[in-house]
Amino acid sequence: VSNLAALALAMAAQDDYTQGHARRVAAYAERLAQCLALRNDEVEIVRLGGLLHDIGKIAFSPQLLENTRAQLSDTMQAEIRRHPETGAQVLQRIGVARPVVDCVRHHHERIDGAGYPRGLVNGQIPLGAKIVSVADCYDALTTDRSYQARKNRQQALAVLKNLAGNALCPELVGVFCAEVRDPPHGDAAPRGRRDLREAGSPLI
Ligand SMILES: [Fe+2]
């Protein structure tokens, strides 16, 4: 089996919600990257990072997947927190480009340093990972999950704005709220492009 086929199989093994989430996060991340006037190859890195960000969840144990209690044990929380690193290692092993791997590894970092796996702060987090974080949060907020009902767009944008400056990069949240926010199946194209490279970390 080729590496790409292996990856396709791994993604197909994810549940329907996770597959849909991966596709939407990829679409949001791609559009946000386009609004930031990233080069086409950088946009593609960010899109792939969005598509693959939760691939490490394929290693979740049956106990965790079958858990229905709201309160997770410390062991389960630790297992959840391993998924970015697990995903990054799987992708690295099959030769996925390093910038894509870094989007996956760092998509749960927070700009205040309270995220995982490394506790990086704003300037240390690759721009691609910060883009995927914004896309991931927004999709999580606007879709139904087992533990919470979806928020409407206004509510979700308000939550994103609250996360700006602590969890999420405020410049990226600003561009997302102004230009991206429509669901991926909508036909709204990004209006105008702006260069925010100097605002965040310089390179993916
Ligand atoms: Fe994740």
Kindly report the number of other CB atoms within 10 A of residue 31's CB atom: 25
Query: What is the structure's pLDDT at 195?
Result: 40
Report the predicted TM-score, pTM, of the whole model to 2 decimal places: 0.86
Question: What is the whole-number distance in angstroms between the Cα of residue 192 and the centre of ligand 1?
Answer: 30
Question: What tens digit of pLDDT does each residue of 177-197 get?
Answer: 999 877 776 444 344 444 443
* Distance from residue 23's CA to the centre of ligand 1 (Å): 13
How far does the centroid of ligand 1 lie from the alpha carbon of residue 137, in Å? 9
Distance 197 CA to ligand 1 centre (A): 24
**Amino acid 4: pLDDT:** 75
Compute the distance from residue 80 Cα to the ligand 1 centre, in Å.
8
Centre of ligand 1 from the C-alpha of residue 139, in Å: 12
* pLDDT in the model for residue 117: 97
Angstrom distances, CA of residue 153 to CA of 47, 135, 140:
22, 13, 12
CA of 189 to the centre of ligand 1 (A): 26
pLDDT, one tens digit per residue, over 77-111 is 999 999 999 999 999 999 999 999 999 999 999 99
pLDDT at 3: 76
Ligand 1 centroid–CA 21 distance in Å is 10
What pLDDT tens digit does each residue of the chain (204 aa) get? 577 787 888 888 778 888 899 999 999 999 999 999 999 999 999 999 999 999 999 888 888 888 877 788 899 999 999 999 999 999 999 999 999 999 999 999 999 999 999 999 999 999 999 999 999 999 999 998 777 789 999 999 999 999 999 999 999 999 999 998 777 764 443 444 444 433 333 333
Ligand 1 center to 104 CA (angstroms): 8
Separation of 86 CA from ligand 1 center, angstroms?
11
101-136: burial string, b at 16+ Cβ within 10 Å, e else: bbbbbbbbbbbeeebbbeebebeebbbbbbbbbbbb
Cβ 134 vs Cβ 76: under 8 Å: no
